[in-house]
Amino acid sequence: MTKQLQIALFGCGNVGQGVFDSIQKKQLGINIVNVLVKDIHKKRTVPSNLLTTNAEQIFNNKDIEVIVELMGGIEPAYTYIKLALKNKKNVVTANKALLALHGEELQALAEQQGVQLKFEASVAASIPIIKVLQESFVANQIEEITGILNGTSNYILTKMHLGLSYNLALKQAQKLGFAEANPSLDVSGNDASQKLAILCHLVFGKSSGITEGIEKIDIPDIQYALEFGYIIKLLASAKREKDKLMVSTFPTLVPKEHILAKVDNEMNAIMVKGDLIGEQVFYGRGAGSLPTASAVISDILDLESHRIRLKPNSLKEKEVHSRWYVRTIVNDKPGVLAGIAKIFAEKGISILSVNQREDRFDGKVYLIFLLHEIDITTVEKALQEVENLDFVHEKPLLLKVEQKT
């Protein structure tokens, strides 16, 4: 009889419960020895004899080969993973925030101790993007990774394209369980940015980039983008340009015909471009108890195999260059367009097109600019001056624009 793999779960929330139930239902050769929880009296489907609050007991158990960390957050997960690796136990985790911050250090520690750290579930849940980058595409020079990595933001933007306001779309997402009661991590772009950081570490080396959320996008922006032939998506993107890397997580006007423009609701999609494979797109559910459990269990079962690992050479980061969408609210009077255009001209910013909307409110109008490709710092400096003009009524909205092919 094949010896069962002995594991311990750290955390038994939504994902942890999904992993436990899935392992129990399927004959996978995995035996759960212990489940570490904060409160052993909380109602769960886990038998009480498996529950413990004593992490040291698990670390000292030589029979336990794998620690599956599903607690989330930075601490105590960071401390526990380090202890597990130092005790020469393999670790499987879904903790994107921790990996974005400490992934490089923990991976080095795992290699030093001769054990494995696996984290497929940390990015896009059931989409096997980590395995693909580490194994299937190892012969490629990856030129670009661009994706929709946050289902909450994508759901909200999808509903806004159907006419719902941001607030109504958010409430609907919360009601359906796609958004937390406090959705700030998702709508701020930070969740997607953390996932992008993990992918960048695998392929390009450590990077940070710029991050912007979707909170300031309004229905008029959706309508104007549609008129220009674009759909607004929150895109996480890393693009290689020679020996430099351009990294951003930013609301972006995506051409309607682009495949990522067709990814709706809570779904995720990741486009990878390599020198041998060209462009390939991976699509699926990027969150949820069971899709995440699928990735976690895959990592557990994959621990015995030793694959070729991608060893990235860190690239210098390059400032983000893009075409840009700028939306301003201004007084409806002569000289306004000339005043803003003068600031753009002084900064060397070329205007691709400008559109003053016919709809007026309280003597104000929307003034929309599409700008030719230029670095974000120059645009932001110009917009600081624009915001200070006496006929401009709020901070201009800035979105990226993907060029149409």
Residues identified as active-site? 195
Enter the tokens of residue 330: 């201004």
Class of residue 346 by CB neighbours under 10 A (exposed 0-12, middle 13-18, buried 19+): exposed
User: What is the residue type of 376?
Assistant: I
Residues 6+ apart with CB under 8 A from 230: 253, 254, 255, 256, 261, 401, 402
Q: Which two tokens stand for residue 127?
A: 């989409």
